Chain A
Amino acid sequence: MLEVLHSLLFSTLDAAPALVFAALGAVLSERAGVVDVGVEGMMRAGAFCAAVAALAMPTPLAVVVGMGAGAGMAAIHGWLCIRWRSDQVVSGMALNLVALAGGTFLLESLFGPNGTPPITQLSRWDIPGLASVPVLGALSGHAAPTYLALLVPFVFQGLLTRTPLGLRLRAVGDKPHAVATLGLSVPALRWGAVVGGGLLAGLGGAVLSTAVLDRFEQHTPAGLGFMALAAMVFGRWTPVGAFLAALFFAFGNALRIGLASSAPHLMDLVPQGVLLALPYLMTLVLLGLQGQRSSAPAALGVPFEQESR
């Protein structure tokens, strides 16, 4: 029994970081009022650039390059949505499509159809003493992003709720005109949030190609970005909420796998497809229940124009 719990916990912690970072990135961008549908594309850019960079430099540095790539994609989004006030959903979807086609194109022209050569993975950390403790031992033996993913959401939450900058970020997503009235720059705040969101999404993607796998696989991130959006909604646009939702999704998946291997007869009762769709179903149900009292930022998706009201 303990072993089953151990493997559940380990699998959850191993699979969650990419989802957590992407969800946090989406929260950051959307709290400032910029819809972040392009998170999938930013993750893909991060994953690709990190894998390519890791061929030439130490892997931790390559992860930073991947974050930069995510921020670069986000900057395109920001330029279109903030500078030119274009439709944020369309811009995000365009970003996803460009990343999908562009990633495959670059991969094939640079490395041939077989993908990037294997790289050195991020090393896994064994926490001395902890590894032998039952259940809690599952906390040991992960790569750095896992531990980072356990820390960052709380720092982010603190920043958002307890600092002046956090207040401004929230205000710019809810009542940008009020922020402008105070003499603060709405575009600057939104730029910061969008690029920051890109950094986080890029990190999420980089984790996929440097910790989960040891190269860029052509389908990466295979819909994980949309799952991150679901986690963001499910977590009611708060960092810790999104973190818990991401953990919950990862745990649900680990549980499904664990049940399928340990108790196959249980799986005959519930079709696996239903379980696979569960995160999305739950998000839909939650959105439906919230109805008008949605916790989405009030000015989400509305381009800021000084002259408008």
Chain B
Amino acid sequence: MQRRFLVLALAALACACSKKKEEPSSGPAPTPAATAQAAEKAPNAVGLVIDVGGRGDHSFNDAALRGLELWASGKRYEGGRYVDASAQELRESISSDLASIAPSLKPLAVKPLVLQSKAQEDYAPNLQLLVEQGAQLTIGNGYMLANAVRDVATENPKSLFLLIDSQVLDAQGKARQLPNVRTILFKEQEGSFLVGALAGLVTKTGKVGFVGGIEVPLIKRFETGYRAGVMTTNPKAAATLMGVYTGSFNSVAAGKQVAQDLIAKGADVVFHAAGADGLGVIQAVKEARAAGKSVYAIGVDSDQSHLAPEAILTSMVKHTDLAVYQASRDLLDGKLVAGEQVLGLKESGVGMADVRVDFPGKAEALQKVEALRQRIVAGQLSVPGTQAELASFQAATP
């Protein structure tokens, strides 16, 4: 009897899982529904596996999804299926720092296949599933997928892969190249430098803060760039800059707690690079504003202004959307080559979103930041991406 109902519980569980499969979503093994989808495979299917941050993180994953679904295939994901997006929607989703290349972002004949990952163990099966569903190009979004992409790409030498935010690493953690994998790294420090420079100009208390997710070199690049930016425009604020890591990318409560602490200690501009934890940071800023404090948050990866229009000073945008779009276009043109790409300000890989809030001296501040941007693009200013580079940057700055 006992066993029978255990089976029942597991059946209910399987039911819940297979339901999730009907919308393009996660699952460890191919199911009949999945194979049926593969049978009607489109000529140009591009697969995307997003990390555990999930769809709707308003940040990193949503940027990649935007690049594939909205820009490359002209579709919007709604209620578990794709509907055609309007031209206006497409236009509005392109952030202003890409204005110069916006006209070239035309929908392509690409069919998106997206899988979400609920746990780290899902990455490799999800990638393999997309390959089996007929994706010519399969994208792994995030450094957490690095090993999964390496393994699946080695097993499927005829498929092409795009790995975002990491190089292909061998078992010893050394970078290597695979003939069917393109990797993309971003110079997050350059975009973070700009928002840091702005934060230094905007702060009234002379204190600014940084909230990171998990302390990895990638997130460190955000921090060092930000610190260098603040240092350039406001050396005093740089000396007291508070940087705290939440230790996760999925805990809103942790992000909020950290931001509350920073605000209580006088920070009035807080930049986050913490995934979903960052939503907590924005919430804390919103609540502090409601309590009468003049504080701003700076968003990350996507333009997060819509989350709290009053409270978001700007966002450091990272154009995985563009990288995904370009890879899809290269695939169609037959020009997708393996290798490593590094995208910075110059390549429109990172940037600063529109500043939609008003503060005294706004025009002047934006001018200064723009001047710094031009110096970085021209190669006259090199932004530190590691702790060691930051130390020498500090020494060089009067």
Residue B32 is within 8 A (CB to CB) of chain A in the complex: no
Write out the residue numbers on chain B whose beta carbons fall within 8 Å of the beta carbon of A91.
6, 9
Write out the residue numbers on chain B whose beta carbons fall within 8 Å of the beta carbon of A114.
56, 58
Min C-beta distance of A263 to chain B, whole Å? 10
On whether the beta carbons of B79 and A94 are closer than 8 Å, the reply is no
Residue B247 is within 8 A (CB to CB) of chain A in the complex: yes
On whether the beta carbons of B252 and A217 are closer than 8 Å, the reply is yes
Q: A11-B257, A102-B16 are in contact. Are A108 and B55 (CB under 8 A)?
A: yes
Write out the residue numbers on chain A whose beta carbons fall within 8 Å of the beta carbon of B256.
212-213
Question: Binary interface profile of B, 252-281, with partner A (CB < 8 Å = 1, else 0)?
Answer: 111011101110110000000000100110
Write out the residue numbers on chain B whose beta carbons fall within 8 Å of the beta carbon of A86.
2, 5-6, 9
Q: A94-B10, A213-B279, A217-B252 are in contact. Are A115 and B56 (CB under 8 A)?
A: yes
Min C-beta distance of A87 to chain B, whole Å? 7
On whether the beta carbons of B55 and A260 are closer than 8 Å, the reply is no
Residue B386 is within 8 A (CB to CB) of chain A in the complex: no
Min C-beta distance of B29 to chain A, whole Å? 15
CA distance A236 to B134 in the complex (A): 54
Residue B356 is within 8 A (CB to CB) of chain A in the complex: no
Write out the residue numbers on chain A whose beta carbons fall within 8 Å of the beta carbon of B9.
80, 86, 90-91, 94
CA distance A94 to B118 in the complex (A): 15
Min C-beta distance of A202 to chain B, whole Å? 17
Write out the residue numbers on chain A whose beta carbons fall within 8 Å of the beta carbon of B16.
97-98, 101-102, 105
On whether the beta carbons of A87 and B54 are closer than 8 Å, the reply is no
Min C-beta distance of A302 to chain B, whole Å? 13
8 Å CB contacts to A: which residues of B264-322? Answer: 264-265, 276, 279-280, 283
Instruction: Find the B residue at minimum CB distance from A85.
Output: B2
Q: A11-B257, A98-B16 are in contact. Are A219 and B2 (CB under 8 A)?
A: no
Min C-beta distance of B33 to chain A, whole Å? 14
CA distance A224 to B254 in the complex (A): 11
Residue B20 is within 8 A (CB to CB) of chain A in the complex: yes
Highest count of chain A CB atoms <10 Å: which of B253, B258, B262 = B253
Q: A85-B2, A101-B20 are in contact. Are A214 and B257 (CB under 8 A)?
A: no
Q: A101-B118, A114-B56 are in contact. Are A254 and B253 (CB under 8 A)?
A: no
Instruction: Find the A residue at minimum CB distance from B78.
Output: A112
Q: Which of B1, B209, B250 contacts A261 (CB 8 A)?
A: B209
On whether the beta carbons of B13 and A97 are closer than 8 Å, the reply is yes
Highest count of chain B CB atoms <10 Å: which of A84, A109, A217, A264 = A217
Residue A18 is within 8 A (CB to CB) of chain B in the complex: yes
Question: Binary interface profile of B, 97-119, with partner A (CB < 8 Å = 1, else 0)?
Answer: 00000000000000000001010
8 Å CB contacts to B: which residues of A194-209? Answer: 208
8 Å CB contacts to A: which residues of B1-15? Answer: 1-2, 4-6, 9-10, 12-13
Residue A104 is within 8 A (CB to CB) of chain B in the complex: yes
Question: Binary interface profile of A, 110-140, with partner B (CB < 8 Å = 1, else 0)?
Answer: 0011110000000000000000000000000
Write out the residue numbers on chain A whose beta carbons fall within 8 Å of the beta carbon of B116.
104
Question: Binary interface profile of B, 225-258, with partner A (CB < 8 Å = 1, else 0)?
Answer: 0000000000000000011110110111110111
Min C-beta distance of A75 to chain B, whole Å? 14
Residue B176 is within 8 A (CB to CB) of chain A in the complex: no
On whether the beta carbons of B1 and A257 are closer than 8 Å, the reply is no
Residue A249 is within 8 A (CB to CB) of chain B in the complex: no
Write out the residue numbers on chain A whose beta carbons fall within 8 Å of the beta carbon of B56.
107-108, 112-115, 218
Residue A273 is within 8 A (CB to CB) of chain B in the complex: yes
On whether the beta carbons of A219 and B245 are closer than 8 Å, the reply is no
CA distance A11 to B287 in the complex (A): 14
Write out the residue numbers on chain B whose beta carbons fall within 8 Å of the beta carbon of A303.
2
On whether the beta carbons of A261 and B242 are closer than 8 Å, the reply is yes
Write out the residue numbers on chain A whose beta carbons fall within 8 Å of the beta carbon of B244.
257, 260-261
On whether the beta carbons of A273 and B20 are closer than 8 Å, the reply is no
Min C-beta distance of B254 to chain A, whole Å? 8
Min C-beta distance of A46 to chain B, whole Å? 14
On whether the beta carbons of B17 and A101 are closer than 8 Å, the reply is yes
Instruction: Find the A residue at minimum CB distance from B26.
Output: A101
Residue B354 is within 8 A (CB to CB) of chain A in the complex: no
CA distance A164 to B6 in the complex (A): 34
Q: A86-B2, A115-B56 are in contact. Are A223 and B251 (CB under 8 A)?
A: yes
Min C-beta distance of B243 to chain A, whole Å? 7
Residue A23 is within 8 A (CB to CB) of chain B in the complex: no
Q: A212-B253, A261-B242 are in contact. Are A113 and B77 (CB under 8 A)?
A: yes
Residue B121 is within 8 A (CB to CB) of chain A in the complex: no
CA distance A210 to B185 in the complex (A): 38
Write out the residue numbers on chain B whose beta carbons fall within 8 Å of the beta carbon of A243.
none
Q: A80-B5, A85-B2, A219-B54 are in contact. Are A261 and B247 (CB under 8 A)?
A: no
On whether the beta carbons of A11 and B80 are closer than 8 Å, the reply is no
Write out the residue numbers on chain A whose beta carbons fall within 8 Å of the beta carbon of B262.
261
Q: What are the 5 tightest A-B residue pairs by CB atom distance, in nearest-first order?
A: A113-B56, A219-B250, A7-B264, A261-B242, A222-B251
7 A-B pairs, CB-CB below 8 angstroms? A6-B264, A7-B261, A14-B257, A113-B55, A208-B253, A212-B256, A212-B283
Hey, which bits of chain B sit against chain A, CB under 8 A?
A: 1-2, 4-6, 9-10, 12-13, 16-17, 19-20, 23, 25, 54-56, 58, 62, 77-80, 116, 118, 209, 215, 242-245, 247-248, 250-254, 256-258, 260-262, 264-265, 276, 279-280, 283
Beyond A108-B23, A212-B253, 11 extra complex contacts between A and B, CB < 8 Å = A14-B257, A86-B5, A91-B9, A97-B13, A108-B79, A114-B58, A213-B283, A219-B54, A220-B252, A257-B244, A273-B215
